[in-house]
Amino acid sequence: MYLSGRAAIVTGSSRGIGRSIALAMAREGADVLVNYTGREAEANLVADEIKAVGRRAVVFRADVSRPDEAGRMVAAAVESFGRLDILVNNAGITRDNLIPRIREEDWDAVLSVNLKGAFNCIKAAVRPMLKARWGRIINITSVVGITGNPGQANYAASKAGLIGMTKSAAREFGSRNITVNAVAPGFIVTEMTGGLPEETKSRMLSEIPLGRLGTPDDIAPVVVFLAGEAAAYITGQVIMVDGGMAM
Ligand code: NAP
């Protein structure tokens, strides 16, 4: 199996894209720490599915925007699995509004989870990777971080920031055989996009050459690929998985 013997953390893996990534990694042989903030029951279900394919799973509640909680999560993975090879920074939130209406707390919340959260997790997780001289860090950004989107200035800023951090980390850790890449999904059907008005969805759909909205299972195989040996010479890249929407 492609990720046999590896241990991974997938942040925000109780549902949506993170859940799909966690399950795909387990099917390829990795042990996985399932992270969540609120939805404990859903996180437990993901862990049950991981165990059902014969891999180890740890469920860990941590708000990634808090450095102490991110640190404890990494320590729990290393203690449970004896190693940590793969970090997927997937946890993310939106607080959409036009700029004049974005409240300070909505700006801060989105930047804290999406950008600082990834930084907190990288800072903690890179230690065991540096020791092992092997690691894979994959940051889930968004096409919106490249193109911008009205009503998403805070979200787009956080995702663009994540791309800058990805490239900086790739340069810092490359000599230790740690790759750092970003995956930029387009419009993916999850709870995050579920609340958008139908007219927004059909406008987006009309801009997608492949003629359909994406699913979490469209994203997971790309993340699995980047996490394994076949992607050893890829670092600092942003892979768009968007049905051609933002080319
Ligand atoms: P989602 O369905 O809303 O799921 C979000 C996940 O993040 C949940 O597991 C949630 O945990 C977790 N989470 C939220 N805040 C957290 C925090 N502070 N600490 C730890 N975990 C936290 O979102 P999604 O659509 O799967 O999106 C996943 C990632 O893909 C996000 O980074 C998002 O920005 C990105 N993305 C999504 C799309 C899209 O169209 N859906 C497009 C581009 C990029 P709980 O279940 O406990 O709340």
pLDDT tens profile 146-186: 999 999 999 999 999 999 999 999 999 999 999 999 999 99
Band of the pLDDT at 197, cuts 50, 70, 90? confident
pLDDT given for residue 240 in this prediction = 98
Active site residue 155: yes
User: Average pLDDT in the 17-44 region?
Assistant: 98
Give residue 13's pLDDT band: very low, low, confident or very high (50, 70, 90).
very high
* Helix, strand or coil, per DSSP, at residue 204: helix
- Ramachandran quadrant class, 117 (left: phi over 0; alpha: psi -120 to 50; beta: rest): alpha
Mean pLDDT computed over every residue of the chain: 98
pLDDT at 210: 98
- Percent of the chain surpassing pLDDT 90: 96
Residue 200 confidence (pLDDT) above 90: no
Choice from 23, 65, 93 to test ligand 1 binding pocket (greatest atom count within 8 A of CB): 93
Residue 186's Cβ-side half-sphere holds a number of Cα atoms within 13 Å equal to: 21
- How many A from CA of 103 to the centre of ligand 1? 21
Q: Is the CB of 185 under 6 A from ligand 1?
A: yes
Reported as a single tens digit per residue, the pLDDT across 69-126 is: 999 999 999 999 999 999 999 999 999 999 999 999 999 999 999 999 999 999 999 9
Q: 38 CB under 6 A from ligand 1?
A: yes
pLDDT per residue as tens digits for the range 225-244: 999 999 999 999 999 999 99
| Tokens 């076949």 found at | 230
Following DSSP, what letter does each residue of 65-82 receive, concatenated? TSHHHHHHHHHHHHHHHS
Q: Tell me, what's the pLDDT at 138?
A: 99
With the most atoms of ligand 1 within 8 angstroms of its CB, the residue from 9, 10, 13, 17 to mutate is: 17
